[in-house]
Amino acid sequence: MDGRTELDPLNPEVMPNYAFLNSAFRIPEPEGAPWECTDSPHGTVHRHFYETKIVKGLRGGQSEYFVYTPPEYEEHSSTAYPTLYLLHGLSQGAADWTVMGRANFVLDNLIADGMAKPMIAVMPLGYGNMAVANKQPSEGDFAAMLFASNALFADVLFTEIIPRVEADYRAAKNWHQRAIAGLSMGGAQSLDIGLNGNGEFAWIGGFSAADALVRRTSARDSANDLELLWMSCGTEDWLLDSNRKLVGNLKESGYAFSLTETPGAHNWPVWQRNLVEFVQLLFTS
């Protein structure tokens, strides 16, 4: 509007984002899609706020994360559930996987159809330093700040998020029952944490991963014990070539897997399809 981007005042759907706000316009799939709200039994999305000791730049130190519990969670009071930690991309926030990705509906529908195991999904705020959330990659100090932020976020995940989730929810407390995945920045965080951490996750996924943020690694002693290492990228995504190279690097390091290439670019329709495919592979052994 007159050279400026404006939100559509009559459209309540807004993409939550630290760098920019856009109105969202959804085109339904002709035959329906797993991320649509249906009459399947619905799980519950819980929003948690807490005071972080690690994340820089949060007003009052107040951080947040969302937790999805499956529809049967309250009925099966003695069951411990496997847990997926689902990470967002750069400039996005903790709400993006539910608001834009509709991850809760994906899980509702796939669980109802018997295509995914009932699981808990945790969607945290994925920064160690909030200053990177609205920075542009072209800025001179961006790369160094993002690397540092991701390193801090790993500490946040292991010392603040996971302990809280496993104290407050019936989440299984062993690596074979933990998965981590994310998109773009979150995809890189998932791969980096999953492959270079302390063996806390047996199921690892990267969707359109920002590969430059992933430390190249030699296969750890337990690499053959990984239940799943899964990467995907859109065929029109600007990160496709670099994702192919990352897969090559990891294969040379001893990891056996392949890159799933799907139609599309660096956007939500691709990541929703990635999530649908990925969660069907989880916790199957």
Per-block mean pLDDT, blocks of 10 residues, the chain (285 long): 87 87 84 91 98 96 98 94 98 96 98 98 98 86 93 97 98 96 97 88 96 77 76 97 94 89 96 98 94
Question: Can you tell me which residue has the tokens 């984002």?
Answer: 17
For residue 228, give both structure tokens.
Answer: 């799943």
pLDDT of residue 138: 81
What domains, with CATH codes, occur in the chain? 14-281 (3.40.50.1820)
Distance between CA atoms of residues 16 and 101, nearest Å: 11
Q: Comparing C-alpha atoms, which of 212, 194, 2, 205 is closest to residue 90? A: 212
Is residue 238 within 8 Å of residue 211, measured between CB atoms? no
Q: Exposed, middle or buried, 35 (CB in 10 Å: 0-12/13-18/19+)?
A: buried
pLDDT of residue 134: 87
> Across 147-249, where does the E strand assignment appear?
178-183, 203-207, 228-234
Is residue 252 within 8 Å of residue 225, measured between CB atoms? no
Distance between CA atoms of residues 138 and 90, nearest Å: 14
Residue 28 Cα distances to 52, 98, 269, angstroms = 39, 17, 11
For residue 210, give both structure tokens.
Answer: 């920002």
Is residue 63 within 8 Å of residue 49, measured between CB atoms? yes
Distance between CA atoms of residues 11 and 23, nearest Å: 7
Distance between CA atoms of residues 136 and 91, nearest Å: 9
Distance between CA atoms of residues 45 and 68, nearest Å: 4
Is residue 190 within 8 Å of residue 122, measured between CB atoms? no
Q: Exposed, middle or buried, 124 (CB in 10 Å: 0-12/13-18/19+)?
A: buried
How many helices (H) and strands (E) the chain has is answered by 7, 10
pLDDT of residue 19: 87
